[in-house]
Every structure is written in C-alpha cells, then in structure tokens.
Structure 1
Amino acid sequence: MDLKWIRSFVTAAKYQNFRQAAEQLYLAQPTISVHIQHLEEAIGSPLFERTGRNVILTPTGKRFLPYAEQLLATYESGIQDIEGYRQGYHRKLSLAVSPLIAASVLPSILRRFVEQYPTIEVQVHVRESKDIADDVFNGAVDLGLSRMQAKGAQLQSILLYEDPVILVAGYDGGELEGTPPLDADQLLSASLMLTYHHPEYWDGLLLQIKKTYPRLRTMIVSQVHIAKRFIEEGLGISFLPRSTVKRELLEGRLLEVDFKLFAPPVAATYWIQKYETEEIATFKSFLAYYYPSIL
C-alpha cells in the first residue's frame, strides 16, 4: 500500500471532490482517481460514492478514514522527529500559548531558554486561552501558558504572575513633555472602547464602567495586537495588560491614561500541565528564575 494513495484518500475525503483534492496536492485529477482505485482494490471495497461532481464516503470509507489519518500523522511526526535530530535536537517540548503571552513575555524567555538548552526542540502552538487546557489534557502539547485557569482534577494549574491592566490611548502627535495627562473622563465619554481581547476580565470591567458611562460605545476586537494597532490609528481606547504595551509606551506610540474611577482588574497568567517529563521539569526550573511561584 502506497502512502500516496492514503494522502489522496484523506484529502479527497476532506473536500469531497477529486478536483479540489488534486489542486491541494498539486496533482492531476486522473492521478487522484488512480490512487483511490488502487486503494479500493487493496482494501477490497469501495471508499467513495460518486454524486455528480462530488464524492461522499461509503460506510467502509468512513470506517477507514481515522486509520488513514493516523497513518499520515505518524509518518509526518516521524519525518519531523528525524529532521529535528539532524538539526541537533535530541528532546522536544511542545507549548500551547495564548496570543497575549506569545506577543509579550514569551519571546525573551524562549530566546534565553534555547540558548541554554540547544538540544531541546521547542514547538510553540498559539491557541486561544479557552482551548489550551483541552490541548494539554488531550496530549496535543506538553504544557500550556494560558490567561485562563484550568479546571479539572487531572490538570495542574499554577499562577505564574499577575499583570496590571491599564487604560491606554493613542498618541495624537502633540508634544509629550509639559502636556497635562490625558483626561479619562473625556476619553470614556467620547471614545470607542475596544473590548474582549482577554478571556476573563471584560464582563466585570464593562459592568463597572457602564455604571458611570452608560452610553459607552464598544467594539469587540478579539486579538491584542489588532487592538493595539487600532488604538495607534486613533480608532479607540482600551484596557490592556501592561506587559503587552510595554514597548509601545516606551516608544510613545501609546499613552497610559490616568484612570481613577476604580481599581482596574489584573490579567493572570497560568502554567498548565497534566504530567511531568524531563523536558517539562527542565523548562519549569528555568522559568522559576523569572517566576518563583511555579515551584
């Protein structure tokens, strides 16, 4: 049985169309048909039913599909492992990381880690915080760095640090020195509030703000880096974790607003793991230099 037959079968099952499968695999459509025919002969049963220009899986095809997907996944994992070994890696550590963490504190930490442990291959998968615990639980990754605490007895969730949340606005191009601080009341009365780019604190934060500013206009912007760009362009203002805007504040592209209506929330970051391996223990010990609470 040829692996090319398996790949053609899985791709055709995904698109339910031989032409689209051929385009995805950069093959001629008759080649896909030949691969499927050979695979059906090897299995001894039809895998697809033709319905005009499209195809649907037969009961046999549906039953065989997960095995075919597993075959491909095993092959591709093996190729990646060998390639990593050629590059000098002897161990692997896979992380699921929220976009906020990936764009703020993680780069400098990982740079130091890979310099200190060059034989550990680090794989970073950027996931929404709501999905990270599931990835760790299902074994898709070794550990997670999330903005949401994991729930479940089989997962260990450790608070790494808490990040102050601040109100930020764009720089309007005026003089920075000698100018009065931005007026929070004026901004909240007239500006668009960019919201829900953090998974936990926005519901309570908006509830408190709207007690004083019931007509506050809002726009959902689900990614921090997009929210920052919108603020720089003058589209609105927002509450962001300080670590995510540190560089922009230093460079003057964003300005912190003196907000005193109430104490803003904090954005927590959690370490999530299910089991312990040598690689996880190594990374945990390394991270403890920055965040002692992990030990």
Structure 2
Amino acid sequence: MDLHQLYVFTKVVEHKSFSKAAEDIFLSQSTVSSHIHALEKNLNVQLFDRVGRENILTPHGERLYQWAQKLLLLKDQALLDLKGGQQELRGMLRIAASSVPGQFMIPKMVKLFRDQYPNALFRINQSSSKNTVDKVLNGSVDFGVLGDKYESDKLKYIPLLKEKLVLITSNQVNIAGPVDIHDILQYPFIMRNSDSGTNAILERLLKKNKISKDQLNIIAYTDSSQSLIQFVMQDIGISIISEIAAKEYALQNQLKMYEINGFDEERYFYLVYNLQKTQSILGKLFIEQALDLV
C-alpha cells in the first residue's frame, strides 16, 4: 500500500473535494484522481460515492481513513526516531482562526513554533468563530483558535489568553468614560457579523441590560476586525471590539478606547481541536506547546 496515495486520500476525505485537496497539497486534480483510482484498484473497493458535487465516503472508505491516519502517524514517528531529532520534523499544519486571533495571535505563535521546528509549514484560514469550529469538526483543518466556545462532545478547548471587550471611537468623538452601555445607542454603530465570538458576547451584554439589538443604530456589518477598526478611525461609527485588537491603535492615538460600565465579562481565546482526528507529531507538539506560544 502506497503511503503517498494514502496521504492524498486523507486530504480528499478532509476537503470532500478532489479539487480542494489538490490545491491543498499542490498537485493537479488529475493527479489526485489518479492516486485515488489506483488505491481503489489496488484494494479492489470503492472508496467514494460521487453524490452531486461532494465525494462521500463509502463504508470501506471510512474504515480506510481510520487506518490511513494511524499509518501516516506511524511513518512520522519512524522518521523522527531514525533521524534522531525534532529539528528534522517537517509537515503542514492547517489552522483556522477567527478574526482577532488570526491577526494578533497566530503570527507570533507561528514564529515561536518555527524557531523550534523550522521545517513546519502553515496554512492559515481566517473566518468567523462559527466557521472555524465547523472546519475543526469536519477535519479540513488540524485545529482552530477562536474567541467563543461551541459545545460538542468531539471538541477539546484549551484556554490560551484572557481578555475583555472595549468600546472604540474615532478621535473626533468625545465621551466621558467609563461608558454606560445605554450611551452607545445615540451613535452610529459598526457591528461584527453574527458568527463572530465578539458578536455573541455583545449580544449577551445587550440582553443583560434589556437592550434590543434593533435599538442600536447599526450602519454596517463586517467580518474583519481590521475593517471594523478602519470604519471607526474614519469616524463612520463606533464599535465594541477585543481589547487586544484595539490597544495598539489606542496607544498610537489613532482611536479612543473606553471601558464599559458594568461590563465585567472576560472572555478567553481558545485553541480547539477534534478529539476524533488523529494529529500528526507536529500537530501534537503545537497543541502541547500552545500556551507557551501565546
């Protein structure tokens, strides 16, 4: 059984797509298809049912996927033992991250990890907290970093960093701080999209203060904390955002940052991984060292 074919097979499983798997591992789609057909011919079983645009695992495919993960991990362990050092570890780690950790945490974590394992390659996917969890659950990434928890028996969360949300305004706005949550109702407001962890915490704050979301003068929604900050700096509206994302801009006097009266809810950024997914040696090392990398 060809280990490279098994590796290609696992990528097709995780992406549910020949074309996306090909893009991930830098092969042509025809090469990926050839590897899968060769594997099916060698094993004399059908591994996928082609249903519409998706490739669904057959029962044989599901069993092979479990064995393939174990065999590929065993290969990594053997190479590590023979080469006699972790510096020789190589491979790709796929991380999904929500907006704030994607911009303000992941770069530092990658740098510190690559200082130890210079042959590690990273593929970073930045999206909402909800999309991050979905990618971890479907196996298309190795783990995620996000600012809210979505409970599932399949998921393990590791708290990385504690922080809080703050109000930000342009330098043209003058508010006597700390700010009462009711004070923000009179200003145009920039809102994170509904799948973000920041949005989930803000909605809990509004509910606690018996404020309907409709009472906010929302003028724009955005997926990106960077875009949100630019909206605020241009005096288009005010917003509530992670203190980590706002602090550097406030220190450089590019915007104003305020604490919110009665808003004492602190949140964590978490590393999350799928308990049912077999991690590579590099993946296990990243998970084990995540707290030290922040």
- State if a TM-score over 0.5 links the two structures: yes
Q: Look up the match of 2:257.
A: 256
Helix, strand or coil: the match of 2:153?
Answer: coil
Query: Aligned match of 2:189 in 193, 199, 210?
Result: 193
The alpha-carbon distance between structure 1 residues 268 and 239, as it changes in their structure 2 partners (threshold 3 A), is: same
Could you tell me the TM-score, scaled by structure 2's length?
Answer: 0.60
The alpha-carbon distance between structure 1 residues 183 and 152, as it changes in their structure 2 partners (threshold 3 A), is: closer
Sequence identity, in percent? 17
Matches of 1:143 and 1:213 in 2, distance apart?
32
Paired residues for 1:109-124 under 5 Å: 109-124=109-124
Do 1:163 and 1:243's aligned partners in 2 also have CA atoms closer than 8 Å? yes
Matches of 1:120 and 1:164 in 2, distance apart?
32
Matches of 2:264 and 2:284 in 1, distance apart?
35
**1:27-71 residue CA offsets vs partner (Å, 9 max, x unmatched):** xxxxxxxxxxxxxxxxxxxxxxxxxxxxxxxxxxx769657xxxx
Helix, strand or coil: the match of 1:256?
Answer: strand
Superposed displacement of residue 253, structure 1: 0.6
Do 1:170 and 1:255's aligned partners in 2 also have CA atoms closer than 8 Å? yes
**Structure 2 stretches of 5 or more lacking a match?**
1-18, 20-49, 56-87
Do 2:90 and 2:282's aligned partners in 1 also have CA atoms closer than 8 Å? no
**1:254-273 residue CA offsets vs partner (Å, 9 max, x unmatched):** 1112532x225334322111
Matches of 1:167 and 1:119 in 2, distance apart?
41
Q: Look up the match of 2:232.
A: 231
Q: Look up the match of 2:77.
A: none
Could you tell me the TM-score, scaled by structure 1's length?
Answer: 0.59
Q: Look up the match of 1:159.
A: 159
Do 1:241 and 1:266's aligned partners in 2 also have CA atoms closer than 8 Å? no
Matches of 1:189 and 1:136 in 2, distance apart?
37
Q: Look up the match of 1:108.
A: 108
Superposed displacement of residue 187, structure 1: 5.7
Helix, strand or coil: the match of 1:221?
Answer: strand
Do 2:95 and 2:141's aligned partners in 1 also have CA atoms closer than 8 Å? yes
Q: Look up the match of 1:139.
A: 139
Matches of 2:235 and 2:247 in 1, distance apart?
18
Matches of 1:214 and 1:140 in 2, distance apart?
36
Matches of 2:213 and 2:178 in 1, distance apart?
14
Q: Match of 2:186, as an amino acid?
A: A
Matches of 2:222 and 2:239 in 1, distance apart?
12
The alpha-carbon distance between structure 1 residues 158 and 170, as it changes in their structure 2 partners (threshold 3 A), is: same
**1:178-218 residue CA offsets vs partner (Å, 9 max, x unmatched):** x9955746962531122235332122223345659995422
Do 2:148 and 2:270's aligned partners in 1 also have CA atoms closer than 8 Å? yes
Paired residues for 1:1-295 under 5 Å: 90-172=90-172, 184=179, 188=184, 190-197=186-193, 198-199=196-197, 200-208=200-208, 211=211, 216-223=216-223, 224-260=225-261, 262-274=262-274, 275=277, 276-290=279-293
